[in-house]
């Protein structure tokens, strides 16, 4: 069964600290993995997209890693800011021969950054 599991479900950290969010998937055949940030009441915003051959991708203070062998990904946030408080969603695309592939979503990690 194609699934995407994220951990932890929620996380509270102090401003300025680093944190790492985890994503494990069983989606096959794998096409790509995306991390999104979703602020409350808004649509998700893309942070990174990684294919099978990429194992690290950075976007400012956000760094995503991918281990296609173990089917694990992580999103590392450095020097957290209050504006990082949001839900972070891991999305895995299965190669289904269509335009975007079939997308499988994790439930998200709710990150809260305290001052």
Partner 1 sequence: KAGVTQTPRYLIKTRGQQVTLSCSPISGHRSVSWYQQTPGQGLQFLFEYFSETQRNKGNFPGRFSGRQFSNSRSEMNVSTLELGDSALYLCASSSLTSGRRDTQYFGPGTRLTVL
**Binding stretches for partner 1 (CB under 8 A):** 31-32, 34, 36, 41-46, 49, 51, 89, 91, 93, 95-96, 98-108
Exposed/middle/buried for residue 95 (C-beta within 10 Å: 0-12, 13-18, 19+): middle
DSSP letter, residue 96? -
Among 64, 87, 73, 59, which Cα is nearest to 27's?
Answer: 73
C-beta of 78: minimal distance to partner 1 in Å? 22
C-beta of 38: minimal distance to partner 1 in Å? 8
94 neighbors 27 (Cβ within 8 angstroms): yes
Nearer residue to partner 1 within complex by CB, 63 or 110 = 110
C-beta of 41: minimal distance to partner 1 in Å? 8
C-beta of 27: minimal distance to partner 1 in Å? 12
Residue 77 Cα distances to 6, 24, 92, 112, angstroms: 15, 18, 20, 12
Q: How far apart are CA 4 and CA 89, in angstroms?
A: 10
Nearer residue to partner 1 within complex by CB, 48 or 80 = 48
Nearer residue to partner 1 within complex by CB, 10 or 18 = 10
Nearer residue to partner 1 within complex by CB, 80 or 109 = 109
């Amino acid at each position: 069964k194609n699934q995407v599991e994220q951990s932890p479900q929620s996380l509270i950290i102090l401003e300025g600290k680093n944190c790492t969010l985890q994503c494990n998937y069983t989606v096959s055949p794998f096409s790509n993995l995306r991390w999104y940030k979703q602020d409350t009441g808004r649509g998700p915003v893309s942070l990174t997209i990684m294919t099978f051959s990429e194992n690290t991708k950075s976007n400012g203070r956000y760094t995503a890693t991918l281990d296609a062998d173990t089917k694990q990904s992580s999103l590392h946030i450095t020097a957290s800011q209050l504006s990082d408080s949001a839900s972070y969603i891991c999305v895995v695309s299965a190669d289904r021969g269509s335009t975007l592939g079939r997308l499988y979503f994790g439930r998200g990690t709710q990150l809260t950054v305290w001052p």
